[in-house]
Structure 1
Amino acid sequence: MKDKNLAVLIDADNVPYAHVKEMLNEIAKYGNPTIKRIYADWTMPTVSGWKNILLENAITPIQQYSYTSGKNSSDSALIIDAMDLLYSKKVDGFCIVSSDSDFTRLATRLREAAMFVIGIGEKKTPQPFITACDKFIYIEILKKAQDSDSTEKPKKQPNAKTETSSVSKIDKNLIKLMKESIDEISDENGWAFLGTLGSYIIKKKPDFDPRNYGFPKLYPLIKKIGVFKIEEKETGVNNIKHIYIKNK
């Protein structure tokens, strides 16, 4: 299957610069980031931290002067560029990197044009922007991934639990979401394929990600919750295992 060509548009005023490589690695899972632009008033000292990492990550800086005090003019520049790219038909999707709800309408408009839209921002990102995206990823889980990868001697923390790195807690709302989703997509016997379940939950809750709860995949998260029946079925000539989930 051909990778989607993605336009990555970064709002430098509303996301931290420390984890750009992790962001780009995450974006690469969904497609090829053919266009990478970052918007800011580069004369301001508040965005000076970005300047050192733009070249090594091949991100094009877009200068947008702050004409009025208190107004974020880079938002307008990003939105205009996004619409230009939409009509140019050079990309199949967009990744908007920001924690600002001002991009809610943009994400909605892009999806109306059949564009695949990823959002990346901090946990503080307002819910309307999250909901407007096909998929939303919290920067905090990318930070945790970097911290984990940089730990050369994990034996120093033998009793550390994966859940301690979570940005969300397993609660009754998550369990309710899973139970309802299983009921809605299950077969006549009540079983739902794990892969289909994960995709379906993201459609209902774009910021759903097992990593938010400290788990690398959906399967260990479901096992941890412990309120579902789990069955592994071998299919095909290679005896590939497929996992099915059912409400108890």
Structure 2
Amino acid sequence: MNQEMKLAVLIDAENISTKYIDVILSEANNLGDVIYKRIYGNWTTPQMASWRTTILNNAIQPIQQYSNTTGKNSTDSALIIDTMDLLYQSNLDGFCIVSSDSDFTRLASRLRESQKYVLGMGESKTPRSFISACNKFLYLDVLLEEAENEADTETTDAAKPAIIDDTPPVISPVTEEPVKSEKTSGKNFRTIRQALVKITEENSDDNGWIFSGTLGNLLNKQFSDFDVRNFGFKKFVPFIESLDMFEVNTITDDKNKTVKHNYFKLKPVHRHHYTHSSRSRKRQSKV
């Protein structure tokens, strides 16, 4: 993704906790240049007081929205109207909508219809409709847990004496856990494995090889909430290698020896499994 992409970060304060702010801004800054940082809520209520220091420290513009009717979330309307104003009055390339509320589903779809990139962020409880409407969706609770675990590890390692270990690192395969999420979720390990097989079969070359970048892009298009960090990894290639499903061919770039291109090919057992399943479905459809 172009690091010069111009972005607006729009936060639903009544739906998101202050503890996620570092993760939110870090992910947005990784995507591009954050031009607008706005947060929406009724700042006259006591429960919003926890945001005060966070807003000041991170130079976020608070937008006041009174609750005109009991039981109605007028903050959502304010965020939506503001977003549409920015869409027509600015030259932004993308919008980061931070909320776990399905009310922003149509907004995300509308922004994409205008060819704007939409990054969604929310907790794992976020409805599938909003997740699917975004180009990319990140689970804040997953990312925060990962950041906290890293901090704990660094603290523990700093307290240990230095030990020199020349043993090469071993990549442990991802263990499949019971499926708790929806079958369409990018957090569902079994679903991602099946999708990788299907994508590779349909998009590999005549010899069965597919470029890692192509595989990753097609997987992200199919699952907006797919992120290797959902499974404890930081990069795509180590995650794929851990599945023990693919043969790997790494080619060093002729012009730049520091650049390596990775290609994957399904191992025979996985190719046979997919082909057999596909044929079975075709036979059943003919009956």
TM-score of the aligned structures, taking structure 1 as reference length: 0.91
Distance 1:133 1:44 in 2: 31
Larger Rg: 2
Amino acid at match of 1:246: K
Aligned equivalent of 1:103:
104
- Structure 1 unaligned regions, length at least 5: none
Distance 1:41 1:150 in 2: 34
Preserved CA contact (<8 Å) 1:107 1:117? yes
Secondary structure of 2:57's partner?
A: coil
Matched, 1:245 2:245: no
Deviations 1:133-177 (A, max 9, x none): 0000110232124313423333489xxx9979x998663211101
Matched, 1:236 2:254: yes
Tell me: CA distance 1:118–1:2, structure 2 relative to 1, closer, same or farther (3 Å): closer
Deviations 1:197-245 (A, max 9, x none): 1111111100000000111111121122111111111222223221111
Deviation at 1:69, TM superposition (A): 0.8
Deviation at 1:2, TM superposition (A): 6.3
Amino acid at match of 1:5: K
Secondary structure of 1:246's partner?
A: strand
Distance 1:169 1:29 in 2: 21
Preserved CA contact (<8 Å) 1:5 1:93? yes
Preserved CA contact (<8 Å) 1:21 1:57? no
Aligned equivalent of 1:6:
7
What does residue range 1-248 of structure 1 map to in structure 2 within 5 Å?
A: 3-151=4-152, 152-155=154-157, 171-239=189-257, 240-248=259-267
Report the number of matched residues: 244
**Structure showing greater relative contact order (alpha-carbon pairs closer than 8 Å, 6 or more residues apart):** 1
Distance 2:156 2:31 in 1: 30
Amino acid at match of 1:8: V
Distance 2:218 2:190 in 1: 19
Preserved CA contact (<8 Å) 1:107 1:132? yes
Amino acid at match of 2:57: E
Tell me: CA distance 1:171–1:142, structure 2 relative to 1, closer, same or farther (3 Å): closer
Preserved CA contact (<8 Å) 2:251 2:262? yes
Share of identical aligned residues, percent? 46
Deviations 1:30-49 (A, max 9, x none): 11110010000111122221
- Structure 2 unaligned regions, length at least 5: 161-171, 268-287
TM-score of the aligned structures, taking structure 2 as reference length: 0.79
Find runs of 4+ consecutive structure 1 residues off by over 2 angstroms: 148-157, 161-164, 166-172, 237-240
CA RMSD in angstroms comes to 2.3
Distance 2:174 2:218 in 1: 24
Tell me: CA distance 1:43–1:24, structure 2 relative to 1, closer, same or farther (3 Å): same
Amino acid at match of 2:121: I
